[in-house]
Amino acid sequence: MLSRVITAPPSPRTGGEVDLEQLLIATSRTFALAIPLLPEPVRRQVTLSYLLFRIADTFEDAAAWPRELRMEALEAFSGLMEHPDPAAAEALARRWAEEVPCEQPSYRELLAEVPAVLDAFFSLAPRAVELIASHTARTARGMAGFVARVNPAGELRLNDVPDLQEYCYVVAGIVGELLTELFLLDEPALAAVAAELRGRSRTFGEGLQLVNILKDSASDATQGRLYLPEGVHRAHILTLAREDLAVAGAYARTLQSAGAARGIVAFNALPIHLALATLDRVETSGPGAKLSRPEVFSLVQRMHRALDRNEPAV
């Protein structure tokens, strides 16, 4: 049994009581800004998708847990997605609240609310449930594969650029693929550009993830997460991120020109604006550099002004 970081774990609640919006705000920065831009029902679908991926991400990053326990949690979580079992969800949530994988209170609360989040998730439309469950399970199992590579010193080292890209696909590219399917489900008129969107979705996710990796490389290294391959110049990864974000911009403009709802266009455009500005800051100031709140607000306003004038969102 691991040492317990908290002595009284939060009590799981039912899906009707859990405050999904508060969980989103507590566990995200960018997505807490972007998801409220979406129209319903895709907003609720994406909110729950984000929370489910965040649960998997919490296990992947659980430096306080040994490798085997992290892999076990990811496999158990993917199993819950594919074969829902309320009793198993309650038992696992209780265990995860006692043997906590992290110290962040917001993530501990999210883990305690796994039964309620799953209850809310399985109340979505059947096709949305099917899409989200399959993509989340695929991500969790892919994460388990990378966790299996953690060495005895607790480090995950990515070997080269293709290895880095495969990692980005598992943790972010699959998310891009899922979001695309949810947009197509919500707006059948987008079927005419489905191939274009699907073809760019993986790269969109990779670009956002590369920016996060570049920004957080110093703090990640202290936790044994060595995502930047040794021997690969940082400038090469910066260039790759910019190329990916150019593809992401084309994705957002395709949505816009195809007549997607403004909220869907804005949801996709905002993270691109933030990622590009963050990349500029990291390139000049190094890892750990962040945008200020006024800078974020200015980017949000600039995006909305462009949409008001029917100009390209990115």
Q: CA of 268: how far to CAs of 220, 226, 252, 256, in Å?
A: 26, 28, 6, 10
Architecture of domain 161-314: Orthogonal Bundle (1.10)
Q: What is the pLDDT of residues 212-260, one digit of tens each?
A: 999 999 999 999 999 999 999 999 999 999 999 999 999 999 999 999 9
pLDDT of residue 17: 55
Q: Which residues pair with 156 in a beta bridge?
A: 225
Residue 95 pLDDT grade (very low, low, confident, very high; cuts 50, 70, 90): confident
CA 278 to CA 285: how far, in whole Å?
Answer: 10
pLDDT of residue 133: 96
Q: Is residue 86's pLDDT more than 90?
A: no
Cβ neighbours of residue 126 closer than 8 Å, sequence gap 6 or more: none
pLDDT of residue 4: 26
Q: Is residue 6's pLDDT more than 80?
A: no
Q: Left, alpha or beta for 82 (phi > 0: left; psi -120 to 50: alpha)?
A: alpha
Q: What is the pLDDT of residues 146-162, one digit of tens each?
A: 999 999 999 999 999 99
Average pLDDT of span 170-181: 98
Identify the residue whose tokens are 């909305």: 304
Q: Per mean pLDDT, which range of 38-52, 56-70, 145-159 is the poorest?
A: 56-70
Q: Which residue has the higher pLDDT, 8 or 140?
A: 140
Domain 18-150 has CATH 1.10.3720.10: no
Q: Is residue 11's pLDDT more than 60?
A: no
Percent of the chain residues topping a pLDDT of 90: 80
State the span(s) of the chain assigned CATH 1.10.600.10. 18-150, 161-314
